[in-house]
Structure 1
Amino acid sequence: MSEVRRLLDGRRIMITGSSSGIGASAARLFAAEGAHVALMARRKERLDALVEEITAAGGRAVAVPGDVASDEDVERAVAVTVDTFGGLDAAFNNAGYAVAGSPIHETDRAVFDRIMDVNVRGVWNCLHSQIPAMLSTGRHAAVVNTSSIGGVRATGAAAAYVAAKHAVIGLTKAAALEYGEQGIRVNALVVGSTRTEMMEEVLAQAPDLETSFVEKSVQKRMADPVEVAQAAAWLCSDRSSFVTGASLSVDGGWSAV
């Protein structure tokens, strides 16, 4: 009997926002599915601990602390990925920033700037540095960008966050069109309410939001981060080879109603 090939065997993947939540779950899952993972986030201690965990389980991982809002940090992360693993085959651009919603006229400009810097410029910085590395391999590649249900409709989240996640979908579609003929697929995840550390911080500021989030899901619950990571793993794999420019809903049915 032939050996069953793992979903991501041998693929070299960069994951941002990987110190907790969806990103950390993706790091563990991708490594278990055979990928070599480069982990980028601002919290070095958490990244180092995660790399140690993955390595102890027999996987390959490297930590690259940095902020996706910094083009220099992103360029360094891509360079470390290529130097460590010999190339870049896929990326999960998952880093994000959100705060509890407030009316536009009451939102501090600094909050607007940070939301845009992480969620929009961060994805732009990643695409800008990752795509040349992918093109240089001569292999098919895949990018997955994390958007949100807020990327397809107003949800009650901060208007800046809604605008930013709409922009992520726009960047995804544009990149899919520009690079499809060169073998790079680019897709987005439309993520519903997920029980991450960042979500817990938002709920601490606005506890009533949890009831609202659960009620809007057809499944009447919030997602576990690994459920989102599973969708990202499929989009990074060759099993989604005819999927590009898509916005895949992983929202418990929220966008179906």
Structure 2
Amino acid sequence: MSKVIAICNQKGGVGKTVTTVNLGVGLARKGKRVLLVDVDAQGSLTASLGYQHPDQLDETLATVLGKVIGDKPLASGEGILHQKEGLDLLPANIDLAAMEVTLVNIMSRETILQEYLNTVRDQYDVILLDCCPSLGMLTINALSAADEVLIPMQAHYLSLKGMEQLMRAIGRVKRQINPTLTISGILITMADMRTTYSQEIVELLRGTYGDQLRIFDTIIPRSIRAAETSAEGKSIFVHDPSGKVSAAYEALTLEVAS
């Protein structure tokens, strides 16, 4: 049975998609069978893996969720794309925005994604869910389906403030829907540890949450090379294999795998 990890933070621009891609590829490089699921109507994960026009895809997460809601049969592997770096992707596009509206009005609305993932879990070792930057119904579905939550956050004061709201949302899902949900850790991203400001934020984070939660030892450094990967449709391991961000995601992969 695979482990399902939601990469989640309601704040945008914290590196959720970059982390999903590079952690997923890192795990695939370690021999794991990996599925990435784009749970964001913007389709950023889909584009970052080389599918630059997600709105032209006929089968996406919205398609399979619609079949689950309608009790229609799903073909084996329906909607899943095989990416050249050794992992699978269930893509998303703008159709997912309409699906989120649909979810609000149906029974068991919080567990539709879980119902779908239960049909493919035995085919993978790890499933990573790239959540949208909100705490709406799609994110609640991801948290309900997940075994663990990995929280990327920038070394910024406003990111630290937003953690309280995210922790409350995770707590509600754990109490009401998914009692086995755990937080695998907080990942500091896009940090410039040469600056006093970043150092102070990291110390504040460790002081505030270090006794309650795991703070990953790995810190993902700020680098234009990481930003370029999305446009290239490649992981950092291919785009800049000897760079500092590649080394950081290799270290994160080992932390998560352990």
TM-score, normalised to structure 1, is 0.47
Higher relative contact order (CA 8 A, sep 6+): 2
Choose between structure 1 and 2: higher helix proportion.
1
TM-score, normalised to structure 2, is 0.47
